[in-house]
């Protein structure tokens, strides 16, 4: 992509769970994909906008190169600078949902920038009752292993890191870790990978730690070897504690209603002064509705519209405009349909979210380059 030096760069998180795998067949039934939950979704209260129906791209299957190419072409057209594929490595060489990314890597197509986010967490089956209470059972455990395992993991990704499409920051391949503080040996892991990167002809690895969730803060990660941080404050909002929240939780259990936040009110929590730091990459959140997966136990942002989303974009990009150095942000997400968290077109709004994203990003990129020219 023809980015200018001072441009804002926006990378969209990308879920690969749109093709069957043997494990999901065993756990959830033959042919299960993310579309299974999306298709079963029902409105839980008056005005609840479910089910969500994809528009231009349809109910795609990521085993098909045509689907992956169409996604990349659309993202590029509307100003998204790359995909951040979720990477599921459970230790001892075990991966899940790796096929779409591997086919992108091995085929050389689409010619669209990418990076990886290690979604380092165990998978559980969560069974929600009508009241929204769930029990869970371990499906596959996240294991970390020792230095030999760190080396095996690195070499499994070395081909990707050396691919010319791989997103680099400061000349290093960018690699995000979803739950850094759940990895007990994270500092040694980072040191090992940095050493392996140099040994294999790279300048290093640019490590990004995600924070803002109930399971971690930037302050806890500052001295662990990360180069930058990705702030995601969505979940912190959902899991606030306090007396009022306890009362609301009890009310929801009695009325079988999910946890509802107005998007317009919630979005002011997504960006804080901390995002002005040069090592913090903020997150754009267009929407959220977890009820296709969790029914009345879910959380949702109500009344997200393209017009209100535009206000959120203005908030994020105004922070990025005033930064020096890298102006990176992430979009959560490109295609998390089962969480009602996507920027792909649906039947209700079509391409409007993408059109507004492109409009606001182009406006701020012009301002960024004028601003820097004046300083220079």
Query: Which range among 98-102, 200-204, 304-308, 365-369 shows the weakest confidence by mean pLDDT?
Result: 365-369
Hey, is 111 helix, strand or coil?
A: coil
Element at 328 (helix H, strand E): strand 328-331
pLDDT tens across 250-289, in order?
A: 545 555 689 999 999 999 999 999 999 999 999 999 999 9
Return the pLDDT at 370. Answer: 61
Output the average pLDDT for the chain.
91
pLDDT tens across 4-30, in order?
A: 778 999 999 999 999 999 999 999 999
In 78-177, alpha helices (H): 99-107, 147-161
Residue 134 has pLDDT above 90, yes or no: no
Which of the four pLDDT bands, split at 50, 70 and 90, describes residue 247? very low
165 DSSP 8-state letter? T
Which of the four pLDDT bands, split at 50, 70 and 90, describes residue 243? very low
Residue 246 has pLDDT above 90, yes or no: no
pLDDT cut 90: percent of the chain above it: 81
Q: Is 282 exposed, middle or buried (0-12, 13-18, 19+ CB in 10 A)?
A: buried
CATH fold group of domain 9-375: TIM Barrel (3.20.20)
Q: Please count the CA atoms within 13 angstroms of the CA of 58 that sit on its side-chain side.
A: 8
List, in order, residues 6 or more apart from 162 with CB less than 8 Å away: 201, 202
Per-residue pLDDT, averaged over 49-59, amounts to: 98
In 200-336, alpha helices (H): 218-221, 234-238, 243-255, 263-266, 291-294, 306-321
Pairwise CA distance, residues 49 & 302, whole Å: 9
Return the pLDDT at 375. Answer: 41
Smallest Cα–Cα separation from 19: which of 93, 118, 130, 96?
96
- Helices 306-321 and 352-375 meet at what angle, rounded to 10? 20
pLDDT tens across 137-182, in order?
A: 899 999 999 999 999 999 999 999 999 999 999 999 999 999 999 9
Return the bridge partners of 350, or none. Answer: 346
Cα angle 86-112-173, degrees, rounded to a multiple of 5? 60
Which of the four pLDDT bands, split at 50, 70 and 90, describes residue 125? confident
Token match 């001072």: residue? 6
Return the pLDDT at 369. Answer: 76
- Whether 258 and 44 have beta carbons less than 8 Å apart is answered as yes
Residue 216 has pLDDT above 80, yes or no: no
DSSP line for 14-77: E----S--HHHHHHH-TT--HHHHHHH----STT---S--B-TT-S--TTSHHHHHHHHHHHHH
Return the pLDDT at 2. Answer: 54
Pairwise CA distance, residues 178 & 332, whole Å: 13
Within 10 angstroms of residue 169's Cβ, the number of other Cβ atoms is 18
Which of the four pLDDT bands, split at 50, 70 and 90, describes residue 132? very low
Pairwise CA distance, residues 358 & 51, whole Å: 26
Pairwise CA distance, residues 367 & 304, whole Å: 27
């Amino acid at each position: 992509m023809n980015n200018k030096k001072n441009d804002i760069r926006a990378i969209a998180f990308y879920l690969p769970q749109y093709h069957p795998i043997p494990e999901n067949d065993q756990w959830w039934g033959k042919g299960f994909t993310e579309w299974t939950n999306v298709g079963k979704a029902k409105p839980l209260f008056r005005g609840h906008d479910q089910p969500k129906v994809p528009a231009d791209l349809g109910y795609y299957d990521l085993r098909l190169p045509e689907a992956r190419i169409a996604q990349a072409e659309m993202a590029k057209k509307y100003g998204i600078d790359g995909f951040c594929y979720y990477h599921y490595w459970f230790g001892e060489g075990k991966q899940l949902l790796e096929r779409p990314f591997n086919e992108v890597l091995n085929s050389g197509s689409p010619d669209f920038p990418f990076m990886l986010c290690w979604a380092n967490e165990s998978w559980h089956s969560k069974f929600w009752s009508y009241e929204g209470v769930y029990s869970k059972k371990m499906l596959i455990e996240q294991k970390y292993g020792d230095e030999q395992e760190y080396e095996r993991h690195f070499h499994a990704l070395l081909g990707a890191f050396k691919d010319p499409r791989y997103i680099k920051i400061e000349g290093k391949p960018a690699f995000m870790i979803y739950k850094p503080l759940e990895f007990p040996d994270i500092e040694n892991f980072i040191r090992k990978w940095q050493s392996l990167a140099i040994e294999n002809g790279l300048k290093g690895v640019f490590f990004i730690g995600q924070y803002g969730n109930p399971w971690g803060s930037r302050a806890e990660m500052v001295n662990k070897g990360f180069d930058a941080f990705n702030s995601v404050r969505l979940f912190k909002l959902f899991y606030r504690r306090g007396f009022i929240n306890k009362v609301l939780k009890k009310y929801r259990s009695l009325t079988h209603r999910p946890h509802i936040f107005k998007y317009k009110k919630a979005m002011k929590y997504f960006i804080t002064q901390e995002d002005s730091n040069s090592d913090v990459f903020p997150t754009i959140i267009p929407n959220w509705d977890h009820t296709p997966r969790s029914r009345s136990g879910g959380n949702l942002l109500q009344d997200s519209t393209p017009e209100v989303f535009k206000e959120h974009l203005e908030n994020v990009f105004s922070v990025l405009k005033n930064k020096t150095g890298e102006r990176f942000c992430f979009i959560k997400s490109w295609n998390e349909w089962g969480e009602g968290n996507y920027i792909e077109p649906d039947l209700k709004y079509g391409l409007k979210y993408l059109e507004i994203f492109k409009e606001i990003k182009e406006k701020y990129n012009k301002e960024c380059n004028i601003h820097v020219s004046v300083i220079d």
